[in-house]
Structure 1
Amino acid sequence: MTTGRLCGIARHDRPRGPMETVDAVSVSREEGLHGDYRGTQFSGPKNWRQGTLIEARGWADAMADLGLEEAFAIPWQERRANLLVDGLRLPREVGAIVAVGKTLRLEITDECNPCSRMDAIRPGLKAALTPDWRGGALARVLTGGDIAVGDEVRIEE
């Protein structure tokens, strides 16, 4: 089994609102990440975008492509992703299951393609996030749970 660590959690309470980083959060099928606008907006039968995941390595590679020396020269949450994962490669296929902490299980529903807002943060950021799912993955909540920075992240086979 492939494992990694959750090294960041972020959420926003309204469209285009500022991202808030937190150390822990509850996640449910009904509201996604507690306090996150997208989780409630996309709840229900389709609930295809209750959360987003991004790899720390992919973010660091995007920063390098932009010529920024530090891996986190632009804070990762500016990508507007919810969960930052380190130490493993996220699945690149719809239907794959990612487990976080003791009980949270997320199903990958699609690639999270970077939008033009990324270039407003830094010219070229959208292109730097485009290859190989660097922009992250969209997910729906299968089983809720409480998660915290430092929790183990696993890809279920």
Structure 2
Amino acid sequence: MQGRIVSVGRSPVHGFSKPTCGSITLLAGLGVEGDAHAGAQVKHRSRVAADPTQPNLRQVHLFHAEMLAELAHRGFVLAPGDIGENVTTAGLDLLALPQDTLLHLGDEAVLRVTGLRNPCTQLDAFRPGLMRALLGRDAEGRLLRLAGIMAVVLRGGTLRPGDALRAELPPPPHRPLDRV
């Protein structure tokens, strides 16, 4: 289960999109250096309002480029970083990974997958209809969240476009991803 990093980004302010850059540095237990969402406790504004002492399970947002291509076919032309992801990947179905999968990125970094990004109305403010495009239903009618996955940094390192990505599944039984 391998892929590669297509793009990396960060933003020091709580905005929607994250500008892409040549590299980002991941800090163990914190997230992306210089990103507004970095920290041991929650940084997403809605979560801070509810309880600022919660652990930050959303330190790094990952999104796969294959979804960007699918969205483009549906009329939503987006670039890496547009929906706020820190890492855009290719070649690995992020949404199919079980909870607690370890992602080895670049030469050093290791992330632990914590869950799914929950699409919010900010998507529609960015592109009308985008939230609905990032939600779906499976064959049994269960809601599917397609806006990427969230992870915490276990071991830091520097990431660049073109770096390798490898998934290490946790021991069974595997738990499906849920929103965090």
If the TM-score is normalised by the length of the shorter chain, which range does it land in? 0.7 to 0.9
Q: Please tell me whether the aligned partners of residues 6 and 148 of structure 1 are also in contact (alpha carbons under 8 angstroms).
A: yes
- Does residue 150 (structure 1) correspond to residue 159 (structure 2)? The answer is no
TM-score by structure 1 length? Answer: 0.86
Q: Alpha carbons of 1:124 and 1:17: their partners in 2 closer, same or farther (altered >3 Å)? A: closer
Greater percentage in helix: 1
Match of 1:76, SS state, is coil
Asked if residue 51 in structure 1 is aligned to residue 60 in structure 2, the reply is yes
User: What CA distance in whole angstroms lies between the structure 1 residues aligned with 2:79 and 2:93?
Assistant: 20
- The reply on whether 1:85 has 2:89 as its aligned counterpart is yes
Which structure has the larger Rg?
2
Q: Percent identity?
A: 28
Separation in 1, partners of 2:155, 2:54: 15
User: Could you report, residue by residue, the CA deviation over 1:115-146 in whole angstroms, capped at 9, with x for unpaired residues?
Assistant: 10111111111111123542000100011111
Q: Which residue of 1 aligns with 2:20?
A: 21
Q: Distance in 1 between matches of 2:91 and 2:16?
A: 29
Structure 1 stretches lacking a partner, 5+ long:
none
Q: CA deviation at 1:21?
A: 1.0
Indicate the residue corresponding to 1:113 in structure 2. 118
CA root-mean-square deviation: 2.1
Aligned length in residues: 151
Runs of 4+ in 1 over 3 A off after TM superposition: 41-45
